[in-house]
Amino acid sequence: MGCINILSGYSQNSHQKIDDALNILVLNLMPNRLETEHQIIDLLQQTDLNINLNFCRMASHHIKHFDSEIIEKYVTTKDVFDNHFDALIVTGAPLDRKHFNEVDYWNEFVDFINWRKTHVDTCLFSCWAAWAAGTIDGILTGQQLDQKIYGVYTTDGITMPQSRYFTIPKNNVKATVLAGNDTIGATLIFDSNTNSYYVTGHLEYGTKTLADEYFRDVKKGLATKKPSNYFDNQDHPINSWHTDATTFYINWLNQFTSSK
């Protein structure tokens, strides 16, 4: 089992980098930051790699809840601008019903996406971040949707949860579409120019994450349909994507570790 040496974030367990480890930066845009940290850490542990892990946030984002706690535990994108990382993960965010210029940290996000081209060796963007980063990179054109793509879907042999109000039609992609279909659009895109993967779903989601989202919406009185291909006949969630998520992370990171 590799060592996950966490230098910032709620899950911080160290104040010093370890040698001969992969240096990974996670821009955590999700409102449930601690849960998202655990999900990403769980996947990284499956790789058996030694990793120095930093969780960062947008400096210009107005934080609604636990602001002082998050400010204390998270570094900002500005704090890491002079550093180099082997890999970058950018999480999703519940922003896909907004226009990009309505996002309070959009300008900083654009700068960050451009910064990573010279400071990061490989990148993984999830859900909204995949759409946003791909738009900034000029490799895709997404479309907002009125009906949510919601559930667990398999496209071209890879299974993952989807929870989004946007789609990226395969014909709107200038990079390599590794997975997708005409119903839910591209789900996995690779751009060799920036060594970046754009994943429209959530490989990192835990077994109950979609269920928690669904029952939260039901409690609010929202007319939310059940996520497709997810619950069994007794409304118990079934995790059918863990193996694919683990395999993806292992393959993604192992190809960059020969020198570590």
Q: Provide DSSP, 11-37.
A: T---SSPPSS-EEEEEE---SSHHHHH
Whole-angstrom CA distances from 8 to 28, 55, 257 are 11, 5, 22
Residue 9 domain-assigned? Answer: yes
Residue 228 domain-assigned? Answer: no
Tell me, what's the pLDDT at 255? 77
Instruction: Please determine, for residue 66, whether its predicted confidence score (pLDDT) is greater than 90.
Output: no
Residue 222 domain-assigned? Answer: no
CATH number of the domain at 30, please: 3.40.50.880
Residue 217 domain-assigned? Answer: no
Residue 231 domain-assigned? Answer: no
> Is residue 65 among the annotated active site residues?
no
Report the domain count for the chain: 1
Residue 78 domain-assigned? Answer: yes
> Is residue 127 among the annotated active site residues?
yes
Is 259 among the annotated ligand-binding positions? no
Is 220 among the annotated ligand-binding positions? no
DSSP H helices, 97-220, are 106-119, 128-137, 209-219
* Range of the structural domain that residue 77 is part of: 4-208+240-255
Is 60 among the annotated ligand-binding positions? no
Residue 176 domain-assigned? Answer: yes
* Rounded distance between C-alpha atoms, residue 135 and residue 141, angstroms: 6
Tell me, what's the pLDDT at 258? 54
From the candidates 62, 102, 204, 213, which is the catalytic residue? 204
* Rounded distance between C-alpha atoms, residue 150 and residue 97, angstroms: 14
Task: Give the residue from 253, 227, 251 showing the smallest Cα distance to 240.
Answer: 227
Q: Give per-residue pLDDT as tens, 13-47.
A: 999 999 999 999 999 999 999 999 999 999 999 99
Could you tell me the pTM of the whole model?
Answer: 0.95
Lowest mean pLDDT among 206-210, 222-226, 255-259: 255-259
